[in-house]
Structure 1
C-alpha cells in the first residue's frame, strides 16, 4: 500500500486553485456581522499577498433539492475532481472526510433513478453513475479502507480512498467558488450511507501507523487563511417549514439570524462523542388522543450525541415504548424501524403534536437549558428503496442498545441550530429560527483563539481565558505537589506496619500466585486483547493544527470487500399488513435481524464495501 501524499507545509499560504474566497476587512468587533465587499471577485488581491488579513466566514450554498430515501434532507452541492464532478452531500458533524457515491452504488438491478436518489448530479452535461476517478486528472489513489464512522450504530462500509480537488459554491468550475486540491476523498457504494457526506470535523486522518496526519477539509481552509477559524454553524433545513426551508451552513462562523435562546455546552474529550448534550426531558403537546404527556417522567433524562450523519433519534428503549403507545407506531424487528399506519398517520397530521426536547449540560433540569420544539412534520417521514417497496410512512426514532448509541440525529437538527467551536472546546445549541421570508442573514465571524483581539462566543476574551487557565494550572500544581508529598509519607508508614502484621494465611495467598479480584470501582471494565478499539489514538484533544489533534487511523477494509455479490433485499409491504412469505436464507436485511412476514423483491447487488467489493 502506497503512503498517501501530504500537502507541503510551505504551501500553507499558496494561491488556491482557480477561484478565490476573498477576505473582507476585519471588524473591530469580531462577532459583529460583516458587510460583504462589493469588489468583484476577479479584482480582489490573491490571499497569498494578504496573509495577515483575517478572512470572512464562508456561507456554503445549499442545493435546491431535498434528497434521501429515508426522509427529505436539504443537501449541499460539492464538486470533486478535475473537471468537476458534482454531488449533493449531507453535512456530517461526526466525520471529517468527504464521501461520494461510487459507480458500484447503483447497478442495472436498481431503479433507473438510483443515481439521482443518491445525490449523484450530472457531470459535464451527461448523466453520471458516480465518482469516476479515472476521469479526474487531479485524482491520486490511496487504497481501500474501512469508512470507520458510526461503528457504535452498527453502520458499515468500505471506501476507495484517494486525494483530489474539493470545491464549494461552484469551486473548480466557476468564478467565485472555493476549491482545495489534495483533499481526502472516499468513494463508496455502501447502502448504509445512501447519500454521501461532507465532513465538518477537524480530525486528521492517518492511513499508516507511522505516517503524518492528513488535515480535514475544514482544517485545510483555515491553514490557507480562507476562513477565520475551524468553527461552524449549521441547521439541517426543514422540508415541513414554509414549503421547504433549505439548510444553513457557515464555515468559520454562524448565522445569528437563524438561532435564538442558545445554550453553550463543553465538548467532551472523546473524539466520537464530542458533541454530547443532556436530554433533560421530552414532552409532547398531544398524542393520538390529544393528551399531553412526558416521555421521561419515569426514567428521567439521559445524555446523547448530536450527530447529523444519521437521520434518526436513538432513545432508551422505555422511551421508544412510550412513543409507540402514544402515536400508534408499529415496530418492525427486521428493519429496526417504527412504521405508522394510515389511520394513525392521518390523526397525527390533524392533531400536529409538538414534541419538545429540553437540552442542557446535565441530564437533569439544573435551570440551564434550552428547548427545541419539533412539530409532527419533523417526524412525518417516508422510507423507500432499498428498505421497503412500496414506500412506507415511518417515525424516525430507534431503540438504543446501550448508552453509546443514544443520538440526536438529523431529524433533531431540522429544528435546532448548532454552533461548534473545536478550538475553544465548546458548542452551542438553540432553536432554529424560521420565517416566510427568512430573516436577513447576520453572518458572525468566530476568530481563532490565536487571532488578535479574538473573543469566545460567550464574550470572554482569549486573554482572559488564557489567564484563568494559567492560574488554575498553577494552583492545581501546588495542590497536587502537597497531596503527593503527604500521600508518599503515609504510604511509607503503612508499608512498614503492613509488613509486620501480614498474617500467614495472607502470605500463603500471595505466594500462590492467585489473582486478587478486588473491585476496581463501580463500572470498572478491563478490555481484552481482542478489543477492536484501535481508531482513536489520543485520549485528550489537542489544539487544531498540531500533529495529534483527534488523530484517526484508518482501519483495513471489512472482510466483505472481496466477497461475491448477493441480492440486496427490498421489503415489500401492502398497506399495514406484510405480505406472507419468508426471507431467503441467502440474503441479509440492511439492518440485520429476521422476520418471516417480509418478502424481498428484486435482486440488486449491494457493493457495501468498496470498489470491486460486494456487501453480504
Structure 2
C-alpha cells in the first residue's frame, strides 16, 4: 500500500462484476472504489494494481449515477476529496466465490489520493444526498436486510506483518473470534458525537525507548478508533515526547516523520515498546494496557505519497482534539468488536497464538432468542463445528450459518497485503 503493508479484502462491483481490493473503514458509511480517473491524475508504476484495481462505471449496466458530492467523512482531518456517487451491485469476495450480493448499494467512485485504496463501509448509518427525509441504506444494512449477516456488528484486526508468519488481518461481519484476543471485560457506549462514535480514553502512553520508562502522554484524552487512516494523531506535546524518545525528526513540508536507515537500524536493534493505557473516555476509570513493539511503527511510504519510497513513523501532529485518532497502526495489536444495534463496542489486546483454534461467536440482534446460553460478551452465541454450514468464498472469505437460528455471519480473513 501507499502507507504500509495492510491486508486488503475482496469486493466485486457492478454487472458484469469487476474484482476490486479494499480496506475496511470503521468511519465510512459509503463504500469507496477507485475509478479509472484515479490513475490518470498520478504517475506511478502498476497504478491500477497498487490502487486495488479500478472500477469502470460505464462498463457496468447496473450503475445508476447520483452525482458528485463530498465524501463526508475525515473532514476533521482536513480531507476534502469528492466522490462520483451512484448505485450498483456489490458482492463480498471475488467473482465465482459465492459470497453474498446486494443490489442498489451506494458507491462513491474516487480519483483523489487521500484514500489510495477503496474503503469497505463498516458504519451502517444511512446516507442523505438531498434532505434528511430521504436516507439511503448502507451496505451493512442491506446485508442484514438480505439475512447475509445476523446483526449490524463486526470485529476487526488489521493484522501484523511482523507477527507469526506475516499475520494477516481479519474481518468478521456479525461476530467475533474469541481465540484472537485477551478479553478485557471492557465495553464502551458510543460517543455522543456520532462522527466519533468509537472513542476510547487514553489514560497514558509510555515507552521504554530510553534508560527509564518515559511517559509520552500523561493526561486523559479521548481518541477515535478509525481504520480508514493509517496514522496515530496525538497532541503536539506527545509528539514532541515521541521525537525525543525515538530520535525522530519532523518534516514540516511532508508533515511526516521520515526514518533514516541509521535510525531504523538503531530502533530495530533496541526494539523499544510503546504502551497505551486504555480506559473510558472523558471520565476514566478501570484501565488495561496494549503494548506495541517498534515493528508496529516501522512502516514504508511509497509514491505518490512520497517521490520515492521511505520508511516513516506513523505519527501525526493533531491540530486539536477533534483530530485525536487511532488509525490502522493501532489496530495491528488491538482487536475491535462493534455492535451498532446496542450502541456499544469493546477493545482488546490481540493474542498471537499460531496453534489457537478459531472460536467464532455470533452477535445476535436484540430480542432474538438464542438456541444456547450466551458466553461473554452478552447477546452472543458461539457456533460449534457441527452447527456451521458454509462455503469458502474465493481464497479467504468464509460464510457460515448458525443452523438453529437460521442466521449467518461472514468471516473475511484477509486477501493480500496492499
Distance 1:459 1:69 in 2: 36
Paired residues of 1:97 and 1:184 also in contact (CA < 8 A): yes
Distance 2:104 2:267 in 1: 49
Q: 1:457 to 1:360 in 2, by over 3 A?
A: farther
Q: Please state how far the C-alpha of 1:222 moved relative to its aligned partner.
A: 1.1
Pair 1:145 & 2:66 matched: no
Q: 1:229 to 1:188 in 2, by over 3 A?
A: same
Alignment of 1:127-146 (within 5 A): 130-146=54-70
Deviations along 1:370-407, one digit per CA (max 9) or x if unpaired, are: 21111111100111211322211111011111111001
Q: Secondary structure at the match of 1:205?
A: coil
Paired residues of 1:102 and 1:187 also in contact (CA < 8 A): yes
Q: Please state how far the C-alpha of 1:428 moved relative to its aligned partner.
A: 0.5
Higher strand share: 2
Q: What stretches of structure 1 of length at least 5 have no aligned partner?
A: 1-67, 121-129, 463-616
The equivalent position to 2:319 in structure 1, one of 401, 404, 422, is 401
Pair 1:292 & 2:213 matched: yes
The equivalent position to 1:358 in structure 2, one of 277, 286, 303, is 277
Q: Structure 2-normalised TM-score? A: 0.86
Corresponding residue for 1:103? 36
Corresponding residue for 1:59? none
- Over aligned residues, Cα RMSD in angstroms? 1.9
Pair 1:414 & 2:326 matched: no
Deviations along 1:67-123, one digit per CA (max 9) or x if unpaired, are: x11111111011111111111111000112110111111128612311111111xxx
Alignment of 1:429-578 (within 5 A): 429-437=347-355, 439-453=356-370
Distance 1:114 1:459 in 2: 43
Corresponding residue for 2:109? 187
Paired residues of 1:156 and 1:190 also in contact (CA < 8 A): no
Distance 1:456 1:403 in 2: 38
Alignment of 1:114-133 (within 5 A): 114-120=47-53, 130-133=54-57
Distance 1:202 1:456 in 2: 25
Q: Secondary structure at the match of 1:206?
A: coil
Distance 1:175 1:312 in 2: 33
Q: Please state how far the C-alpha of 1:175 moved relative to its aligned partner.
A: 5.0
Corresponding residue for 1:319? 238
Corresponding residue for 1:279? 202
Q: Please state how far the C-alpha of 1:343 moved relative to its aligned partner.
A: 1.7
Q: 1:230 to 1:456 in 2, by over 3 A?
A: farther
Q: Please state how far the C-alpha of 1:362 moved relative to its aligned partner.
A: 4.0
Deviations along 1:516-548, one digit per CA (max 9) or x if unpaired, are: xxxxxxxxxxxxxxxxxxxxxxxxxxxxxxxxx
Q: Secondary structure at the match of 1:388?
A: coil
Larger Cα-atom Rg: 1
Q: Please state how far the C-alpha of 1:323 moved relative to its aligned partner.
A: 0.4
Distance 2:354 2:188 in 1: 30
**Which region of structure 1 is more displaced relative to structure 2, 380-389 or 400-409?**
380-389
Distance 2:110 2:254 in 1: 22
Higher helix share: 1
Q: Secondary structure at the match of 1:254?
A: strand
The equivalent position to 1:254 in structure 2, one of 176, 199, 203, is 176
Deviations along 1:182-235, one digit per CA (max 9) or x if unpaired, are: 101111111111111001011101111165211111111111222111011110
Corresponding residue for 1:269? 192
Paired residues of 1:328 and 1:340 also in contact (CA < 8 A): no
Paired residues of 2:42 and 2:304 also in contact (CA < 8 A): no
Deviations along 1:39-61, one digit per CA (max 9) or x if unpaired, are: xxxxxxxxxxxxxxxxxxxxxxx
Paired residues of 2:209 and 2:246 also in contact (CA < 8 A): no
Q: Please state how far the C-alpha of 1:296 moved relative to its aligned partner.
A: 2.2
Corresponding residue for 1:494? none
Q: Secondary structure at the match of 2:187?
A: strand
Corresponding residue for 2:78? 154
Q: Please state how far the C-alpha of 1:460 moved relative to its aligned partner.
A: 5.6
Q: Which structure carries more relative contact order (alpha carbon 8 Å, separation 6+)?
A: 2
Deviations along 1:286-335, one digit per CA (max 9) or x if unpaired, are: 24xx54211124xx221100110110000010000010111111101112
Paired residues of 2:150 and 2:365 also in contact (CA < 8 A): yes
Q: 1:169 to 1:327 in 2, by over 3 A?
A: same
Corresponding residue for 2:262? 343
Corresponding residue for 2:404? none
Number of aligned positions between the proteins: 378
The equivalent position to 2:16 in structure 1, one of 68, 83, 101, is 83
Q: Structure 1-normalised TM-score? A: 0.59
Distance 1:108 1:204 in 2: 31
Distance 2:126 2:36 in 1: 27
The equivalent position to 1:176 in structure 2, one of 84, 98, 103, is 98
Distance 1:265 1:394 in 2: 32
Corresponding residue for 1:583? none
